[in-house]
């Protein structure tokens, strides 16, 4: 590509950044980086009725957490600022004046009551098209316009949609798209409060910010013919358009904020790693063209092309996300997980204040569990016995592992543990081997009952490492508790 690629992500701060929005940001980011171009963040905050003040922070934090840092935008200086549309209102005003001057736009004085009535009549008549504004003010005389404006009569500005036109544009993902101009009504460009509509501000800014490729969710596709006509009215070149495929919710239907699309930060709180989520999101509608699924950010940048984005909808498959995240959990060093895991443990509230301060211990727990946990949350959930004595024993495992002479085995092992002067992994392994040999028991007959006694569950990391980490005193206490419990349990069963 010869000229510099410039793309933008243009969220409206009307709520949290959900994963669908993050996919749009990611595709823009990957495209920019692939072509050595710029990724711009623009805040479309002109709809003051839907504005939410904490949404901005959440958008910034989410994008940064995912590693989608912008080259220009809020907090990052660039040559096309300001990057908040609310700070650019005079620009939009100027542009609308120019359109009025050139005969492409006109003021409209229709009251909301009139428009409401019009809508009702149209609904009743069930007009197939040309619903929407009836061009009532399109041909007012210049004198009348001047007079009404000088009397401060509230008004909006509308674009004159030309008659009998086929409005067409090329979508990089879907090919040629055509709309008949009859299906479009004279859209509002500037509202009576002086704020621009999405259409006007979006087109003006894409042009002024030198955006070469507009990549956005496919819900915006119906807006594009209007934008094409706006570009035409201004006499500006069109950017390249690419409407990204729909993401379906797991249970069917479009994934939306209302339907299952959790916020990016919810995934962070649920213990996902940013690189896992990014890799998963990249595959929602795009594929590298071979079977490769796990790709680092750099690989994604190297491989990403719009040609490989499919127009077909893709499903947000939570299980695949978990699986993908698990691959990154294995890859991560213990140290790099510590801070994030710490937050998850803290939030879960099962680890005491004191224990949360013991970074060496926490690191060792992560080391033992990270390869067998798909998320940090799963790691935290499965780690409870490293911090607390079990208060119950897995029922199925009790039946399977604590039968026959398990009680005697647990009693003997308790004494053995108590007598050990060195409670290292190696000494434990030697002690288990000796004991198994002496008693002519399989190792399984020792390992499984012990694991259940110490952790309360039937799964976990290697037993010897686990016992060493939990420590002699705690292990002995838990063994004694288990012996008491089992003894009682057997007595009750036999009575």
> Does 33 qualify as catalytic in the annotation?
no
- Starting at the edge strand found earlier in the chain, the sheet holding 105-108 runs 105-108, 156-159, 188-190
Site residues for ligand GLU per CB under 6 A: 10-12, 44, 202, 216, 220
Closest CA to 284 of 323, 249, 245: 245
Using the minimum distance from each CB to ligand GLU, give the nearer residue, 51 or 435: 51
| Bond from prior residue into 82 cis (ω within 30 degrees of 0) | yes
Minimum CB separation of residue 28 from ligand GLU in Å reads: 9
The number of angstroms, rounded, from the C-alpha of 302 to the middle of its chain's C-alpha atoms is: 22
Q: How far is the CB of 227 from ligand GLU (least distance, A)?
A: 8
Would you tell me the crossing angle of helices 334-348 and 359-369 to the nearest 10 degrees? 100
To ligand GLU, the closest distance from the beta carbon of 10 in angstroms equals 4
**CB neighbour list of residue 20: distance below 8 Å, 6 or more residues apart:** 217, 247, 255, 256, 261
Q: Which CB sits closer to ligand GLU, 216 or 448?
A: 216
Task: Report the residue number, 200 or 341, with the smaller CB distance to ligand GLU.
Answer: 200
Nearer to ligand GLU, 244 or 300 (CB): 244
Enumerate the β-bridge partners of residue 158.
Answer: 106, 188
Measured in whole angstroms, the distance separating CA 5 from the mean position of its chain's CA atoms is 25
Neighbours of 70 (CB within 10 A): 24
Nearer to ligand GLU, 262 or 441 (CB): 262
Tell me which residue of 340, 342, 213, 339 sits closest to 277, measured CA to CA. Answer: 340
Catalytic position from the list 160, 254, 257, 294? 257
Q: Angle of helix 19-34 relative to helix 53-65, nearest 10 degrees?
A: 50
Tell me how far the alpha carbon of residue 472 is from its chain's centroid. 43
Q: How far is the CB of 203 from ligand GLU (least distance, A)?
A: 9
Residues 6+ apart with CB under 8 A from 143: none
CB of 86 to ligand GLU, least distance (A): 13
Would you say 156 and 188 are in contact if contact means Cβ atoms under 8 Å apart? yes
Rg (CA), the chain: 32
- State the minimum distance, in angstroms, from the CB of residue 12 to ligand GLU: 4
Based on CB atoms, which residue is closest to ligand GLU, 203 or 483? 203
Residue whose C-alpha is closest to residue 450's, from 409, 420, 390, 396:
409
Among candidate residues 446, 464, 454, the one with its CA nearest the CA of residue 405: 446
58 or 465: CB nearest ligand GLU: 58
| Smallest distance, ligand GLU to C-beta of residue 202, A | 5
Catalytic annotation, residues:
257
């Amino acid at each position: 590509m010869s000229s510099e690629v410039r793309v933008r992500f243009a969220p409206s701060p009307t709520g949290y950044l959900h994963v669908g929005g993050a996919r749009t940001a990611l595709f823009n980011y990957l495209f920019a980086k692939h072509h050595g171009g710029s990724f711009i963040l623009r805040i479309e905050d002109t709809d003051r009725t839907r504005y939410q003040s904490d949404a901005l922070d959440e958008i910034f934090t989410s994008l940064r957490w995912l590693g989608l840092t912008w080259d220009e935008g809020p907090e990052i200086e660039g040559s096309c600022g300001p990057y908040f549309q609310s700070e650019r209102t005079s620009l939009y005003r100027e542009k609308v004046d120019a359109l009025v001057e050139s005969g492409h736009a006109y003021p409209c004085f229709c009251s909301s009551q009139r428009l409401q009535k019009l809508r009702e009549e149209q609904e009743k008549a069930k007009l197939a098209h040309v619903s929407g504004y009836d061009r009532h003010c399109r041909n007012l005389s210049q004198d009348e316009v001047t007079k009404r404006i000088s009397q401060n009569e509230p008004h909006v500005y509308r674009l004159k949609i030309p008659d009998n036109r086929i409005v067409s544009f090329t979508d990089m993902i879907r090919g040629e798209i055509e709309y008949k101009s009859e299906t479009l009504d004279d859209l509002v460009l500037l509202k009576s409060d002086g704020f621009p509509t999405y259409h006007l501000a979006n087109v003006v800014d894409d042009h002024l910010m030198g955006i070469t490729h507009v990549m956005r969710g496919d819900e915006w596709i119906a807006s594009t013919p209007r934008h094409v006509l706006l570009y035409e009215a201004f006499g500006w070149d069109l950017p390249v358009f690419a409407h990204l495929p729909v993401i379906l919710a797991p249970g069917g239907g479009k994934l939306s904020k209302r339907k299952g699309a959790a916020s990016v930060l919810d995934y962070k709180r649920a213990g996902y790693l940013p690189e896992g989520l990014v890799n998963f999101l990249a595959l929602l509608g795009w594929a590298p063209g071979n079977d490769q699924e796990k790709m680092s950010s750099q690989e994604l940048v190297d491989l990403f092309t719009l040609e490989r984005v499919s127009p077909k909808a893709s499903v947000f498959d939570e299980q695949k996300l978990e699986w993908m995240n698990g691959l990154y959990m294995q890859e991560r060093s213990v140290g790099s997980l510590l801070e994030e895991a710490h937050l998850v443990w803290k939030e879960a509230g099962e680890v005491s204040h004191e224990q949360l301060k013991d970074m060496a211990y926490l690191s060792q727990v992560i080391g033992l569990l990270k390869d067998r946990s798909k998320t940090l949350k799963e790691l935290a959930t499965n780690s409870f016995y490293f911090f607390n004595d079990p208060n119950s024993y897995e029922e199925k495992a009790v039946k399977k592992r604590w039968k026959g002479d398990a009680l005697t085995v647990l009693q003997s092992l308790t004494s053995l543990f108590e007598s050990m002067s060195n409670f290292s992994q190696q000494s434990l392994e030697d002690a288990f081997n000796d004991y198994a040999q002496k008693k002519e028991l399989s190792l399984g007959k020792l390992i499984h009952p012990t694991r259940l006694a110490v952790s309360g569950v039937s799964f976990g990391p290697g037993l010897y490492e686990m016992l060493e980490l939990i420590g002699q005193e705690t292990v002995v206490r838990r063994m004694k508790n288990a012996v008491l419990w089992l003894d009682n349990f057997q007595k009750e069963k036999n009575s």
